[in-house]
Structure formats: C-alpha cells, structure tokens
Amino acid sequence: MNKRQLEKLLGMIIATTALGARGISCGPCPDNVAQIPVLPPSSDGGVEDAGDWLADECQRKCPNGISCVPTSLPLEDGGSMPAIECTQMADCSAGRRPLGKGGPEKRWDTKGLGAAGEWLVHAAALEAGSVIAFRELRRDLAALGAPRRLLRAASRAAEEEQRHTRRTRALARRYGARVPGQTTGVTRRASLEELATHNAVEGCVREAFGALVARWQATFAEDLEVRTAMAQIADDEARHAALAHAIDAWAQRRLGPAARARVESARREAAHALLAPRARDAGREEALRVLGLPGAAETEALAKRFVVAIGLDAAA
C-alpha cells in the first residue's frame, strides 16, 4: 500500500466516522494508573508516617513511570495504608515505538497540568522515541541487506520524527509542561523475524492508525497550532506507514512459512488491540476539544473501520 492509497483510505474512514455524534473520552491516550500498597519499615500506617520512604518505593516499584506520588488506601477498620500511585506512559503517539527500551531520562512532573498539557507531554516523549525507533530500523535494515531505497526512507523518517518532537515539545511548553530528554535505544541488532514482527505491529498497524488519529486532530482541534502541527504529522505518518508496508513486502519474501505466520499473528493481535473499549473521561471535555481528540464512540468507530479496511477484521 503506497502513501496515496493509504491517505485515500484514511480520508474515507474519517469522512464516514465524522458523520456520527462526537462523544468525549480520553481519546487514544489514556493514562495507565496503578495504586500499589506498600508497608513502611516501622509505623502505624498512613502517608504522613511513611515520609520520604515512599519516594524510595517509587524508585523501586515504579522505575519507568511518568509520575509517582504518595497516597493511601482506606482500610475496613477506618484506617489507611500507605501506597504509591504509579502512572505509566500512555500509548498516545502517532509514531513508532523503539524495539528496545529507549525512554525518558526521568519522570515527568505533570502535576498541575491540564489534560491538554498532559497529553502533549506524553506525545512529545513518544515522538522522541520514534526518532530512536527509525534509527534502529535503518541500522537493522542495513545489516540485513535491505535495498538502499528502504534505508533512505528510514533515514528520512527519523529526521521527520525529530521535527515532530520539536513541534510537540513546543506545544507542550505552551501548556506549561517541561519535557525531559530521551535515552539512547537498544544496541542489539534485530533478526529478520524480529524486525518484520516489530514493523508489522508498529508500522503497518500502529503508525497507520496514528496517522488516522492525527488527521482527525488536524480537522477538529480548536487550537490552530495543534491543528497545523497535526496536519504535518499526519502526512508524515502516512508516509511512514507506507514505508512499513514496503518493508513488510521485502521481509515476507525472505521469511519461511512458520515465521510469516508468527508475524501475521502479531499483526492481527495489534489490530484487534485497537478495538479495546475506552473509558469515558468526564472533566476533560474542554481540553480534548482543544486538541481535537476523538471521543469514545468515535475512537471505537475509527478503529473498527480501520481494522476492516486493512483486512484484519475478525472475519478476515
């Protein structure tokens, strides 16, 4: 599937979905929050008694969280138990995730930010991760003897993701956020099957759907700068998804039947994951209108039409 075909497909999906009523949810970027009870070394319980020890627990039990704050859980006898509230990075970026563990150098302090600022902080960090992902991809393609046209396209994609990072960082700063730096990616080279699987999931499915969501935001965001940024991001992500399909075709010719089946299974699983229910999120309506994120009903409709359009629906 080339870029023009993909853009036509995405446009048709948006046109049919936009006819429905707009609901409000946290869109495709919900926070993943877990409250983890902890036992202090010596106290009767409660956040006040736990003191700085909870900060150490955050480092130990929430090492990759974007935020970690002390809290408490109520007990049946009326007392409370110390706990930490660990928020993991939501999967909201239109870009490709690294095969390794490239991520923020430190947690982000999103306390006090509105919903728009939180979303943009997450998006900026994940766009930075996409720079790593495409650099890894180019390196692995070169090691596996891929054609130069694929190497050039991967290099161009990394440069475009750098622009996305700058744009989303700037938007996040407008909403009062501070976005940390990014660590380096994995150094181990991927095998052909690992590359093909990761490309099918991250490129053929997630980047294509991310381009669809970005295109929706470019249409509906009330913030003009968000609308402008998302229009460029949507265009670039459609090109990246088309690159993923080209890489997929190249890799499929080199894989054996069993490996091809495993890649296809991962692709289908990633597509069906888009269909998971998304909870509504009262209280964020104004911020979500500013960003143009699709509501709960719209996200579900977009995902269903997308999965059918790429031939990965349950009946396929």
> Smallest Cα–Cα separation from 27: which of 112, 111, 118?
118
HEC-encoded secondary structure of 2-35: CHHHHHHHHHHHHHHHCCCCCCCCCCCCCCEEEE
Q: At 47, is the pLDDT very low, low, confident or very high (cuts 50, 70, 90)? A: very low
Distance of CA 35 to the CA centre of its chain: 22
Q: pTM for the full model?
A: 0.76
pLDDT per residue as tens digits for the range 222-247 = 999 999 999 999 999 999 999 999 99
Range 3-31+90-309: architecture per CATH: Up-down Bundle (1.20)
pLDDT above 50: residue 200: yes
Query: Which H helix or E strand runs over 74?
Result: strand 65-74
> Rounded to an integer, what distance in angstroms lies between the CA atom of residue 26 and that of residue 31?
9
Q: Choose among 127, 259, 131, 147: nearest CA to 200.
A: 259
Amino acid found at 136: E
Residue spans in the chain of domains classed CATH 1.20.1260: 3-31+90-309
pLDDT > 90 fraction of the chain, expressed in percent and rounded:
43
What number is the average pLDDT over the span 15-39? 55
Compute the chain's Rg from CA coordinates.
21
pLDDT, tens digit, 9 for 90 and up, residues 72-115: 777 767 777 777 676 554 454 567 888 865 444 444 555 566 77
- Give SS3 for 41: coil
Cα separation, 164 vs 226, whole angstroms: 12
Per residue in 124-135, pLDDT tens?
888 999 999 999
Q: Looking at per-residue confidence, does 30 or 19 come out higher?
A: 19
SS3 71: strand
Sequence-separated (6 or more) residues with CB below 8 Å from residue 241: 1, 6, 203, 204, 207, 208, 211
**What is the pLDDT, as a whole number, of residue 11?**
79
User: Which contacts (CB < 8 Å, 24+ apart) does range 55-61 have?
Assistant: 57/84, 58/84, 58/86, 61/36, 61/86
Reported residue count of the chain is: 316
